[in-house]
Amino acid sequence: MRKFLSLVVLLISQLLFLPCISHAAVITVRGTAKGAENLKIRLIGYTDYITYERQTLAQAIIDPSGQFLMEFKADKITHAILKVQFYESEIFLEPGETYVLQLENVVTGDEFRPYYNSENLVFSILNKGKDELNHCIYEFAARYNDFVMAHFDAIYKFRKANMIDSVHDIGRAVCSELQNNYFNDYRLYKTGSLELSVKAAFKAKLFGGYFGKKPVLYEHPEYMYFFNEYFDQYYSSSRGINTLSLQNAINKDKSYQAVDNVIGNDTLLKDERFRELVLLKMLYQLYYEQGYNSSGIFSILEHVKSLSKFPEHRQIAGFIIKKLLKLQPGYHVPQTPLISTGQKAVELSDFTGKPVFLAIFTLKSFACLAETEGFSGLHQKYNGKMHFLPVFFDEPDIVKKFMAEKGYSWTAWLPADSDQLIENFDLKTFPLFVLLDAKGNIFQYPARKPSENVEYVIEGLLKKMN
């Protein structure tokens, strides 16, 4: 009898648990990208919406006929960035759905383009109607932007509150038949960001309508954008948070509980989950503020990462720690594949045992060309004591011709995966110089240029090794 009852209890508990299990489904993105043949196309997501660090969800090489196919699994709507070279645009992908895309305006000329200056990737979704999530978001965003531009002074100069009612009307008029909570939240929090600008002086009164008794939407970009705007440098604007007490809790106590007690004095932050998310946002910003001890900040972040009762916060704390440590002295650079102009494949990690002076060039940049002579001089002086790795974002034949014309004796390298190199070193523009120690850890990032007396730093690095 007891065995029977135990079996019944076990079955009931399993049945009760089943609805809580989320099942990932395949999302398929395929289509054509004329003009981008043989280039890489990627779907990029964000690890979280505090650090906004990017991660690849899926990728493919566009075939010679312009066709591509990407797939990945997700258990909820995914906000992604569709990217081809310096073109990118956002897309919203639902689990189990297939999206047939036609990309336009993919022009990959030979002109120099800074990587931070991305351009809009124009595309059409061929197999979806006007009641589809992407269409509704794009339609609302377009009407929203048109309205804001047409009433710019009324909104940002005269702070007219009735402008918000008009935006709400626009939102209700777009895709009114679509029953989709994700879209409803998109409209709500995009309008909320505008209302925050108009009613900045009455910020506290907005809290209840947008955050009070509402779930935290960790993976919704508009919710988190509004959250980040609302709590931007909140430690300096909150009437309930004493900044001196906050400094002591971080710098002296280095205690999660002490910081939680300080920010808990804010009457808006009574909910434990929400308060801890605000705490994470604050710690991320305070790291870059003067007067706050980084070791105290890391100690509290480690506490959240290990002990928070909220799994989302454990993840976010981990991502913040990783972000703050990235490219700092002592940071170990991840695998970065390179290939020589002679097609020799290596990893950056192969160049250990000696310090490394990494230079990232493109021959399209006059600033890069101006530094190559100095780089060559350093190579002649220190070759044998350290590795010199010039990496070019150019075609192999062009680099070979340049090397032959200049008579340079050092080996020229190309990125085997340009996206990976860009992300590993947060490449924003050219040239970029990086000094690594003999173990492949960051010694100086960005390093001084050859024209900026980098010799002084190199000498210091070499002395440190002896």
pLDDT at residue 109 in the model: 61
Q: Considering the entire predicted model, what is its pTM? A: 0.89
Residues 6 or more apart in contact with residue 134 via CB below 8 angstroms: 91, 92, 125, 128
Q: Of how many residues is the chain composed?
A: 466
Model confidence pLDDT, tens digit, residues 210-245: 999 999 999 999 999 999 999 999 999 999 999 999
Rounded to whole angstroms, the Cα distance separating 105 from 36 reads 9
pLDDT tens per residue across span 317-376: 999 999 999 999 999 999 999 999 999 999 999 999 999 999 999 999 999 999 999 999
Position 180 scores a pLDDT of: 95
Q: Considering the domain 24-128 in this protein, what is its CATH number?
A: 2.60.40
Residue-level pLDDT at 21: 47
Nearest of 454, 461, 464 to residue 432 by alpha carbon? 454
Cβ 279 vs Cβ 245: under 8 Å: no
| Selected residue with higher pLDDT from 350 and 7 | 350
> Rounded CA gap, 311 and 45, in Å?
19
* CA separation for the pair 234, 256 (Å, rounded): 18
Residue 410 pLDDT: 92
pLDDT tens digits for range 162-209: 999 999 999 999 998 899 999 999 999 999 999 999 988 788 999 999
Q: From 3.30.1490.100, 3.40.30.10, 3.60.21.10, 3.30.2350.10, which CATH number describes the 337-465 domain? A: 3.40.30.10
Q: Domain map of the chain by residue range? A: 24-128, 136-217, 234-325, 337-465
Tokens 């070979």 found at? 400
pLDDT in tens, 378-402: 999 999 999 999 999 999 999 999 9
Query: By the 8 A CB rule, do 42 and 88 touch?
Result: no
Q: Which has the minimum average pLDDT: 17-21, 82-86, 242-246, 409-413? A: 17-21
Lowest mean pLDDT segment, chosen from 114-123, 269-278, 299-308:
114-123
- For the chain, percent of residues with pLDDT exceeding 90: 85
Equal fold, 24-128 vs 337-465: no
CB atoms within 10 A of CB 94: 17
Give the CB-side neighbour count of residue 246, counting CA atoms within 13 A: 22
Per-residue pLDDT averaged across 295-312, rounded? 98
Q: What is the pLDDT of residue 18?
A: 43
Write down the mean pLDDT value for the chain: 92
Strand partners, 360: 391, 432
